[in-house]
Structure 1
């Protein structure tokens, strides 16, 4: 019995470490996407290297979640599982559009690719898909917000109704309010709705300010999704 308990504990620790690694990796992926959106803050060659790093970490993310693909045709689909599948499929399409269009536009790392094309259509496709990708990843994060919250509460032994949880909730709300202001001020809806043919960059803006705004907008969409899911599906949990 003791040996069995030790084996179960070891398995639990392996799963826990894997999940921590995945959370860190996904955090890096979100940071890399932010770096890619700040095109004007980097040299173009650096932007392309960051794009390659983003692609590699996306592939690693998929490898670590192969169990999801194996179970995709198993079991019943309730509303929440169906929504997750739809969001993941849309994310896959956005990733493909962003990555392929990025490769076609490459001027430094892959300038001789047979698919190279720097036309306005490809450029607008890349710009639009990347902006939608931020929204899509934020929605994906929002759909896992509850699970992540429970994980961190258990990891750090925090009581669910403790003061620190209330502070984090307040900060999420404040970030969301600020993110909504950023979304309007930066005319991000125009990028999403294909109303912008050329990206307009403020080359004099602070790097810290740009990425603070990026994080705020990401939290805006993620927390909005988390709140809507709580209202519609999980309020009684």
Structure 2
């Protein structure tokens, strides 16, 4: 495997983990939250530099259904991440407090909205590349031959994650947060980071699975 490809995958994995931890800001505390946010911003810049070739091909070639979908998701994810980082700087109380931007309620609303849309779009983005991720995982594990039992087990796991992801989506009121129905995200301080992570990993798995099989269906029809 090429070093650049492996580097890109490691950065994407770390960014995904950081996004999940950043969503648990009430458990990590504000200072750690902001420092991790800066780390995510730096990795986001590196990610875009490593994938600069994609931007150069935007106006080249023809667009089929899959390419339109892929481009739309990437542009929306870029917008969500930029909004997330700008709003974070606007009402920073630690790292960027010296700038005294005082974003107020607008910055808080924008930050919450872009956080949840960013999380969903990251999940969809992963789903669109899940085939490549699985191929890379098989190569790293030196798996060359297909195995019916392994495939069956993985599909059962995918179904269970998807079902629980649907439950967790309703339990966490993700839909309401995507339309900013709530101005503030009320936090249950009795919950642990483990249960929080399981819920949101399942929600992520839901969107990864739906996107992956949607892409496969489009490819088959094409």
TM over 0.5: yes
CA RMSD of aligned residues (A): 1.7
Contact 1:153 1:160 in 2 (8 A): no
Runs of 4+ off more than 3 Å = none
Residue deviations 1:52-111 (CA, integer Å, cap 9, x gap)? 011011111111111212222222221111111111111111011100000001001111
1:145 aligned partner: 130
2:30 aligned partner: 44
CA distance in 2, matches of 1:170, 1:74: 40
Alignment of 1:34-113 (within 5 A): 34-113=20-99
Return the offset for 1:226.
1.0
Contact 1:176 1:216 in 2 (8 A): yes
CA distance in 2, matches of 1:143, 1:52: 26
Residue deviations 1:126-159 (CA, integer Å, cap 9, x gap)? 0111011000001111111122222323343243
1:4 aligned partner: none
TM norm structure 2: 0.93
1:166 aligned partner: 152
Partner-residue secondary structure (3-state), 2:97:
coil
Q: Which runs of 5+ in 2 are unaligned?
A: none
Residue deviations 1:32-68 (CA, integer Å, cap 9, x gap)? 0001100111110111001001101111111111121
Q: 1:30 aligns with which of 16, 22, 41?
A: 16
CA distance in 1, matches of 2:208, 2:23: 18
Larger Rg: 1
User: What is the aligned length?
Assistant: 221
Return the offset for 1:204.
1.6
